[in-house]
Structure 1
């Protein structure tokens, strides 16, 4: 989707995506090998009452949805970062996740008018978009514009 289309639409609902326990453990074993992500037996006796996905895994799921469904074919080329990132509730194996993306601001850069700047909020929830928030972030993305 092109920058102008993203800016005009303003809101998108993406997903669903679901993880199984093997995916949770595999990701965590490589990138966030804390026991409550990698050891189902120990996690069952821990503060979450079971295995939970790494927050970084949740971010990766959201990024996959955005990159495949919104940024594919766009002029997007970089991001200077996030304004905030929160994981208010854990993701458990079997959770069905939906991502709501809201454009907060879309503008041309004042100093480099060939750049489009998109500031947007991504909120991932359990269920059909009405469940607990498992990811809340605000990102800025940059787009190379021709005109």
Structure 2
């Protein structure tokens, strides 16, 4: 089985998965900030250097969106993702800085077959974003609907 063949049943509670890495370049930070979070510490190195952050940093919601984007790069949700239900316990522990090489780390907390949707499970995953020094930058829990393995598959 490859990661793209996974269904809900293939995730084990507590089993840790790690995404590929991504270097957070100034271009990635600024492009997102121009559209969604146009604050000086996300847009301009000089202004960012004078801010409380002391340098260019990614927006918090860019980091949250990056969490799911990196998890998708594992291929583990290619076949089974149905929909997100909500995010809980979202925390920004430290800023994502220009030049950081980040990865998503995630694991299943719990899950069960849906009571109202046959073939679908309600799951809850913990996600973290960590940098090249293994520093925790973001944590959250996401409730998700995942497809269950079809009968006979």
Q: TM-score range by the shorter chain?
A: 0.7 to 0.9
Q: Which runs of 5+ in 2 are unaligned?
A: 1-5
Q: Paired residue for 2:51?
A: 46
In the alignment, structure 1 residue 5 sits paired with structure 2 residue 10: yes
| TM-score, normalised by the number of residues in structure 2 | 0.85
In 1, Cα distance between the equivalents of 2:107 and 2:26? Answer: 30
Structure 1 outlier segments of 4+, above 4 Å:
none
Quick check: which one's helix share is greater? 1
* Aligned-pair Cα RMSD in Å: 1.8
In 2, Cα distance between the equivalents of 1:126 and 1:67? Answer: 18
Q: Paired residue for 2:28?
A: 23
Quick check: which one's strand share is greater? 1
| TM-score, normalised by the number of residues in structure 1 | 0.88
TM-superposed CA distance for 1:89, in Å, is 0.1
Asked if the contact 1:7/1:106 (under 8 Å) is kept, the reply is no
TM-superposed CA distance for 1:9, in Å, is 7.6
Q: Paired residue for 1:105?
A: 110
The 5 A counterparts of 1:1-147 are: 1-7=6-12, 10-69=15-74, 70-72=76-78, 74-127=79-132, 131-145=134-148, 146-147=150-151
Asked if the contact 2:13/2:110 (under 8 Å) is kept, the reply is no
Q: Which runs of 5+ in 1 are unaligned?
A: none
TM-superposed CA distance for 1:112, in Å, is 3.8
Q: Paired residue for 2:3?
A: none
In 1, Cα distance between the equivalents of 2:20 and 2:84? Answer: 22
* Aligned residue-pair number: 144
Asked if the contact 2:22/2:103 (under 8 Å) is kept, the reply is yes
Asked if the contact 1:102/1:122 (under 8 Å) is kept, the reply is yes
